[in-house]
Amino acid sequence: MSAWEDVDEYLAGTLLGEDEVLEQVLDENQAAGLPEIDVSPLQGALLTVLARAVAARRVLEVGTLGGYSTVHLARGLAPGGRVVTCEREPRHAEVARRNLERAGLADVVDVRVGPALDTLDALVAEGAAPFHLVFLDADKQGNPDYLERALRLVRPGSLIVGDNVVRDGRVADAGSDDPAITGTRRFLAALGEDPRLDATAVQTVGAKGWDGFAIAVVR
C-alpha cells in the first residue's frame, strides 16, 4: 500500500469510523456489478461537510451511480431538505433507489432517470426553487453544459462542486483530445472566468488515486 493510501486509511479510521450503511451500499453496488467509481469515504465526508456548511435544504447531484455520494449529501441536509439526483442508466438508478430505501433516505431523495441535461432543462423549465449545493459527477464532457444549467438553478451562497478534475494530472495536458479532459478543462475555464463565481480546486490523493474537486461559490 502506498503512503497516500496509508494516510487515507488512517484519516478515515480516525475521522469517520465504522459505517454499516455506507459499507452495505458498496457491497450492494459490487453485487450488482456497478463500476467502483464512487467517491472515497473521506471525499464523501467532504460532501456532507459542505452541505452542512451551507445549511443546504436543496441539493442537486448529477451522476448517482449506486447512491454512495447521494447518501453523504443527504446526510448533510438541513431538516426537511431534499436531494434531486440525476442518473442516465436505469440499472444504476434501480440499485441506488434500493440503497437509499435501505438507508432510510427514500423520502428525502428524488432519483431522476435519463440524460442529466434533459433533467436539468426540465428543472429550469419548471422553475425549480434554487439549489444550495450542486455536485457534478457524471460524464466529464458534459460538465460545461451542466455548469451552464446549474448556474440557472442556484442563488448567491450556493456551492457548485465538480469531481474528477485532476485525473492523475492529465487535466494539465493542454494537447489532450480525450473528451473527458477537454470537457474538464472547459468546465474549469468557465468556473475561472465567470464573474458570478469564486472558484478553487483541491487536489486529492488516497484510496482513489490522484484526483481532485473543483469548488465554487455563487457570489
**Contacting positions for ligand DHB (CB under 6 A):** 37, 137, 163-164
Q: Quick check: 149 and 128 in contact, CB under 8 A?
A: no
Residue entry with cell 439526483: 85
Cβ within 8 Å of residue 38, ≥6 positions away: 26, 29, 44, 65, 66, 68, 69
194, interface contact from ligand SAH, ligand DHB, Mg ion, none, CB < 5-8 Å by kind: none
> Which residue lies nearest ligand DHB, judged by its C-beta?
37
Interaction residues for ligand SAH, span 165-194 (CB under 6 A): none
Question: Residue 37 interacts with ligand SAH (CB under 6 A)?
Answer: yes
Our CB check for ligand SAH shows the closer of 143 and 158 to be 143
Our CB check for ligand DHB shows the closer of 37 and 205 to be 37
Q: Which stretch binds ligand SAH (CB under 6 A): 63-71, 102-110, 195-203, 204-212?
A: 63-71
CA 191/CA 165 separation, integer angstroms: 12
Please provide the DSSP assignment of 72-103 as one string: HHHHTPPTT-EEEEEES-HHHHHHHHHHHHHT
Q: Which stretch binds Mg ion (CB under 5 A): 5-13, 109-117, 134-142, 176-184?
A: 134-142
Our CB check for ligand SAH shows the closer of 8 and 87 to be 87
| Cα 146 from chain centre | 12
Cβ within 8 Å of residue 186, ≥6 positions away: 143, 144
CA 192/CA 101 separation, integer angstroms: 38
Site string for Mg ion, 153-192 (x = CB under 5 A): ----------xx----------------------------
Question: Residue 137 interacts with Mg ion (CB under 5 A)?
Answer: yes
Nearest approach, Cβ of 63 to ligand DHB (angstroms)? 6
Please provide the DSSP assignment of 111-166 as one string: EEES-HHHHHHHHHHTTPPPEEEEEE-S-GGGHHHHHHHHTTSEEEEEEEEEE-SS
Interaction residues for ligand SAH, span 92-151 (CB under 6 A): 92, 115-116, 137-139, 142
Residues that bind ligand SAH (CB under 6 A): 37-39, 63-65, 68-69, 86-89, 92, 115-116, 137-139, 142
Residues that bind Mg ion (CB under 5 A): 137, 163-164
